Amino acid sequence: MGNVIITNHPLIQHKLSILRDVHTSSKDFRNLVSEIATLMCYEATRDLPLHEIEIETPICKCTAHSLEGKKLAFVPILRAGLGMVDGVLQLVPSARVGHIGLYRDPETLKPVEYYCKLPADINERDVIVLDPMLATGGSAIDAITLIKERNPKSIKFMGLIAAPEGVAALKEAHPDVDIFLAAEDEKLNDHCYIVPGLGDAGDRIFGTK
């Protein structure tokens, strides 16, 4: 069964509180999403495999460690996942980036796919799916299903805030996927928004409301 890892580091929790605040501007919101993504990426990449290499320091030759293989692909779910991309690339600049476009139909609240472009060699990569919000879980479940069709080496999900309903749904649909979060909130409201949450992440990042 996939693990749920809540990264409750004080810096992340502090930044998350500012993010939630309705008075935080789009500019600050964007910066904070990116910064939290960087901090969370540190935890989500903890188990990347290393191999030994021989190097020469100015003092002597020695054995050191290097990341193994083709490494990582990040796949943000559009739109809000885009806000996390710069932050994770700060830590892993050589990673490839795929994109999956999904939006929740306002009537049915089910995800509708409108774009999918993934790295050609994704089958040789470990994938981290990025989306700040895991509400009903529908978007993450569908995105991961699409990625699995391309046989990646592994998949993790990295989000900022989740509802218990979304965590349960994602665990049931994809029990092999570890879920990294900054917070698990109380519940979903009648419109399937996370309570207390932070509102509509895409609108707050891009200032569209």
Question: Which span sits near ligand URA by CB under 6 A: 22-30, 120-128, 167-175, 199-207?
Answer: 199-207
Query: Of 51 and 198, which CB lies nearer to ligand PRP in the complex structure?
Result: 198
Shortest separation between residue 110's beta carbon and ligand URA, angstroms: 12
Phi and psi, residue 116, nearest 5°: -155, 115
Q: Does 201 bind ligand URA (CB under 6 A)?
A: yes
Partner touching 197 among ligand URA, ligand PRP, none, CB below 5 to 8 Å by kind: ligand URA
Partner touching 170 among ligand PRP, ligand URA, none, CB below 5 to 8 Å by kind: none
Please give the sequence-ordered ranges of beta strands (E in DSSP) within the chain, or none if there are none: 4-6, 50-56, 61-67, 72-78, 96-97, 99-104, 111-117, 126-130, 133-134, 154-158, 161-162, 178-181, 183-184, 187-188, 194-195
Binding residues for ligand PRP, rule: CB under 6 A, are 77-80, 103-104, 111, 131-140, 166, 192, 200-202
Q: Does 127 bind ligand URA (CB under 6 A)?
A: no
User: Of residues 44-83, which lie at the interface with ligand URA (CB under 6 A)?
Assistant: 80
Those residues with Cβ within 8 angstroms of residue 87's Cβ, 6 or more apart along the chain or in another chain: 33, 34, 35, 36, 37, 38, 41
